[in-house]
Structure 1
Amino acid sequence: MAWFESALTINKQQIRIGHFSDSHLFADDSGEYFGVNTAANLQQALAAMAQEHCDVVIFGGDLTQDHTTESYQAFARLVTNSELHCPVLWVPGNHDDIALLEQISTGKIFPHKRITAPFGEILLVNSKGETPAGWCERAHLDALKRHITQQTIVFTHHHPKPIDGYLDKHMLENGPELLNTLVDTKQVIGLFHGHVHHEYQQTFRTLPIYATPATSIQFVKHTKEWQQCDLGPAYRLITFNNNGINTEVKWLDR
């Protein structure tokens, strides 16, 4: 099936979206990513999002740190056991195996990459490349462009514009091509991504770009050297309606 072919319809005049990313889970729930228990952090984030009365939740990629099948099963179990009562969709990160993500897309986890509403659409882009850096295939960009026919917001894993940080060496390599494709439609009002393990807001031409922090660990901003800062888990809340978008980041340990 083509990436954007299957659509999830939400017949409301406003959609509340939870966006979380970069869980970096292990096969064992006690696994730690640079001293942080990532399963416990994800469980905390899921519990908080469950209180937001979201219509849909989107996972921004990098589910796994140890690349085990068991880590995907752990993610599915944590989502299933959470109090979330809405669909959970996903985009793949550079750490992820799309086939394994598809295997766990049952129950609360949905495989859809397009969400339609009376006032607009949400599109989930595949930025997974051959290396940790991202890449969007030309055919994928063409399909994306064909589906942007009304007010739209877009989600991807990799950041398409430099953040002046360590992960710029693993950014979306054809980011300008994606960004120009989106802006040229005159329909896209926001791009959301994960991958960079902190909160950022940028602009490309007229397009706002929002980075959502990780549920695992955050990275120090504006340094080319890898530096961890343990700020606790976070997620982003987005309200999308006919008037556009409003968004804020929710830090859980502040």
Structure 2
Amino acid sequence: MAWFDQVLTLNQTALKIAHFTDCHLFSEPSGRYFDVDCTTYLGDVLADIASQRCDLAIFGGDITQDHSLASYMQFLRLVEQANLGCPVVWLPGNHDELSYYEQAFGGASPNVIHPAKWLNTPNVNIALCNSKSETPAGWVTEAHMTELQHVISQEPKNTLVFCHHHPMPIKGYLDKHLLENGNQFLRTLADTQKVKHVFHGHVHNDYSDAFEEIAIYATPATCIQFVKNSPEWLQEDKGPSYRLINIDSFSRLTTQIRWLKNV
């Protein structure tokens, strides 16, 4: 099956989307990443998403820190307990294994976690891309890029694109693990003339940039954040966070970061 063959259709003309990413869970709920309680922080994010009455939640990769199947089951448990009222869709991060996603979520209700990587709505399409490579850095394969270009070009509507790795440098330590063919990826998207927004995780903080007419947004992690513009790998506990994306019935998009330190 090709990556974008699994499709989810949403009938809302206006959409509220939660983009949350990089929770770095462990097999045990008590697991801590840079002394942050990852399980509690993800629970806080999911509770806030539930309060926002979203139409869709997109998980941007890196479920796991210890690479255990049990960490994916922890994620599923937390999502089920949160009663979001909307489906969660996902894409893989550099820490993740596709086989573990499939094992953990294969029996989940599609109303809770849905496997779709292409989403249709009345006014916009959404593509969830695979940038995972054999290293912590990202790579979008030629076959995946060709399939993405094809599905975008077949539709008259614009497409929101999500991936895990950052396609442009952030002038920080994580640039050693960026999307290594990010320029080709963005060039492919720009050439379709149907992509105006790209969202990613991986960098554990909020950033914005642009490639020609494409706005690029990084969403902070649900757990620890990485200090901006630092050549060294430095961490800071700014609290859990995620991004809200609102698309109105005229396809106009606005977005904001939700920082939950004081929630």
**TM > 0.5 between the two?**
yes
- Counting only pairs closer than 5 Å after superposition, residues 236-251 of structure 1 correspond to structure 2 as 236-241=243-248, 242-251=250-259
Which residue is equivalent to 1:60? 60
- Counting only pairs closer than 5 Å after superposition, residues 147-158 of structure 1 correspond to structure 2 as 147-148=151-152, 149=155, 150-158=157-165
Contact 2:124-2:251 within 8 A present in 1 as well: no
Whether 1:213 and 2:217 are equivalent positions in the alignment is no
- The offset of 1:218, in angstroms, is 0.2
Contact 1:13-1:117 within 8 A present in 2 as well: yes
- Counting only pairs closer than 5 Å after superposition, residues 173-184 of structure 1 correspond to structure 2 as 173-184=180-191
Paired residues, what number? 254
Q: Secondary structure at the match of 1:246?
A: strand
Distance in 2, Cα, partners of 1:3 & 1:140: 8
Which residue is equivalent to 1:6? 6
- The offset of 1:240, in angstroms, is 2.2
- Structure 2, unpaired ranges of 5+: none
- Counting only pairs closer than 5 Å after superposition, residues 50-89 of structure 1 correspond to structure 2 as 50-89=50-89
Distance in 2, Cα, partners of 1:57 & 1:225: 32
Letter in structure 1 aligned against 2:12 = K
Q: Secondary structure at the match of 2:209?
A: strand
- The offset of 1:10, in angstroms, is 0.4
- Counting only pairs closer than 5 Å after superposition, residues 130-169 of structure 1 correspond to structure 2 as 130-148=134-152, 149=155, 150-169=157-176
Whether 1:226 and 2:233 are equivalent positions in the alignment is yes
Deviations 1:5-46 (A, max 9, x none): 121000111111100000000011011101101000000000
Distance in 2, Cα, partners of 1:226 & 1:124: 28
- The offset of 1:245, in angstroms, is 1.2
Contact 2:123-2:251 within 8 A present in 1 as well: no
Contact 2:69-2:104 within 8 A present in 1 as well: no
Distance in 2, Cα, partners of 1:182 & 1:192: 13
Q: Secondary structure at the match of 2:189?
A: helix
Q: Secondary structure at the match of 1:43?
A: helix
Distance in 1, Cα, partners of 2:62 & 2:12: 30
TM-score by length of 2: 0.95
Letter in structure 1 aligned against 2:162 = F
Letter in structure 2 aligned against 1:114 = W
TM-score by length of 1: 0.98
In angstroms, what is the RMSD of aligned CA positions? 0.9
Deviations 1:167-193 (A, max 9, x none): 000000000011011111111110000
Which residue is equivalent to 1:127? 131
Q: Secondary structure at the match of 1:104?
A: helix
Contact 1:152-1:189 within 8 A present in 2 as well: yes
Q: Secondary structure at the match of 2:119?
A: strand
Distance in 1, Cα, partners of 2:232 & 2:49: 32
Q: Secondary structure at the match of 1:100?
A: helix
Distance in 2, Cα, partners of 1:69 & 1:207: 36
Whether 1:113 and 2:83 are equivalent positions in the alignment is no
Percent of matched pairs sharing the same residue: 51
Distance in 2, Cα, partners of 1:91 & 1:244: 24
Which residue is equivalent to 2:178? 171
Aligned structure 1 segments of 4 or more residues deviating by more than 2 angstroms: 240-244
Deviations 1:180-226 (A, max 9, x none): 11111111110000000000010011110000000010000001101
Q: Secondary structure at the match of 2:52?
A: coil
Whether 1:204 and 2:211 are equivalent positions in the alignment is yes
Letter in structure 2 aligned against 1:53 = R
Contact 1:189-1:244 within 8 A present in 2 as well: no
